[in-house]
Structure formats: C-alpha cells, structure tokens
Amino acid sequence: MTGHRPHGFTVCRKYLSVLLLLTIGLMTRAQDMPLTAIGNVAGVPSELKLSELIAVLKGEKLRWNDGTKVSIYIMKTNTPIGQNTCKKIYDWSGDKVKRYWLELSFSGKADAPTFCNTVEELESYVSQNPGAIGIVDRSSTSAAVKMILIDGKNPF
C-alpha cells in the first residue's frame, strides 16, 4: 500500500513537470529575447553604438544631430519585451526604470518616454513622429520606420 501512488497523481505530476519546463523555457526566452531598435525615417540615424542607444534611452540626448527632437517609445515594463528592454538597455528592474523616468521628467530635465501596450502601437507612434525611437522584438514593415543598427547588428 505504502509504495504505490494513485494513477491520477502520477499523470498530474507529469503534466506539472511539463508545464514547469515550458514556463522556465518561456522565461529564459523572454530574458534572452533579441531586441530591435527602430526609428522614424526623419532625424534618427541608421546606426548607433550601444552606449549611444543607452544614453538616448536614458534621456541624456534631447535632439538628434540634425536638430530633430528625440522622443522615446518603449514597451510597458510588465510585457516580455519591456522586461527585456529594462534588463538589456538599462540593466535595471522595470520599477527602477519607471522611477528613474518619473524623477527625471518631474525635475524638468527630460520628457518621459511613452510606454506602449503592443508592438503595433509602438510602431505606429514611431512611424508618425519624426525623431521617434523605439525598442521592439521584430523588424517593421512600415515605410516610415527604419531599422537602426546597434554596434553593427540588428537585432542586438
């Protein structure tokens, strides 16, 4: 009696194990997801160093070299792309990124980014606003959006 477990329990354990492995796999994928930098065709350069991208996304550069205003679009920090952006670009948690921007924008030093719900929404903003830069996980098909090479790579 003691050495045997019911059949239902064994099946349930198998399903749980598979589910756990899938979850871990998805989490690992979210953390390692390659990112793509996209920009509006007006103002935004076609190539940036990673250090320059980080400076731009931290609000340290207010205008591109041609004078176009920089506007930043990133995914909400509770989305997998947003989490990956926080980790890869800022090397901070999502909460710290939001706090950083709240502090910076209300000290009057820079305009806060727009945090988007979907990649489509982000692409739409970037395509409509000269000088806009955004971080997504895929190439864009919009003619008003260009891919930005980061350290010669995209995705990076």
d(CA 121, CA 140): 12
Closer by beta carbon to other proteins, 2 or else 107? 107
Site map for other proteins, 49-88, x if CB under 8 A?
------x----xxxx-----x-------------------
Residue with tokens 């250090």: 51
First to last CA, the chain: 57
Annotate 86-139 with DSSP letters as a single string: IIIII-S-HHHHHHHHHHHHHTTSSPPPEEESSHHHHHHHHHHSTTEEEEESS-
How many binding residues for other proteins (CB under 8 A)?
23
Residues in 81-140 at the binding interface with other proteins, rule: CB under 8 A = 93, 95-96, 98-99, 102-103, 105-109, 111-112, 114, 129-130
Q: Which residues bind other proteins (CB under 8 A)?
A: 55, 60-63, 69, 93, 95-96, 98-99, 102-103, 105-109, 111-112, 114, 129-130
